Structure 1
Amino acid sequence: MPATSTFRSSLIALLALTGITLASAAHADSGRIGFKIFKAGIIVGGSAGSGVLYFHGRQYPLSIGGLSYGFTFGASETRFHGSVSNIRRPSDVAGVYAAGNAGAAVVRGAQAIVLTNQNGAVLTLSGASVGAIVSADLNGLALSVK
Structure 2
Amino acid sequence: MALVAAVVVLACTGVSSVAHADSGTIRISVLKGGWFIGASGGSGTLTFRGRQYPLSIGGLSAGLVFGASQTYWSGRVSNISRASDVAGVYAAGGAGAAIGRGAQVIVLTNEKGAVLEMSGRQTGLMVNADLSGLAISLR
Q: Same fold (TM over 0.5)?
A: yes
Aligned twin of 2:39: 46
1:109 maps to 2:102: yes
User: Does 2:88 correspond to 1:92?
Assistant: no
SS in 1 for 2:113: coil
Instruction: State the AA in 2 paired with 1:88.
Output: S
Asked if residue 141 in structure 1 is aligned to residue 129 in structure 2, the reply is: no
1:69 offset after TM fit, Å? Answer: 1.1
**Which range is displaced more, 12-21 or 101-110?**
12-21
1:1-146 aligned within 5 A: 19-146=12-139
Q: Structure 1 vs Structure 2: percent identity of aligned residues? A: 59
Q: Give unmatched runs, 5+ long, in structure 2.
A: none
AA aligned to 2:121 is A
Q: What is the TM-score normalised by the length of structure 2?
A: 0.91
Secondary structure of the structure 2 residue equivalent to 1:72: strand
Q: 1: distance between equivalents of 2:131 and 2:46?
A: 25
Q: CA RMSD in A?
A: 2.0
After TM superposition, which residue ranges in structure 1, 4 or more long, deviate above 6 angstroms? 9-15
Counting matched residue pairs gives 139
Rg (Cα) greater in structure: 1
TM-score, normalised to structure 1's length?
Answer: 0.87
Distance 1:71 1:125 in 2: 24
Summarize deviations over 1:102-121 as a string: whole Å, max 9, x none.
Answer: 11111111110111101111
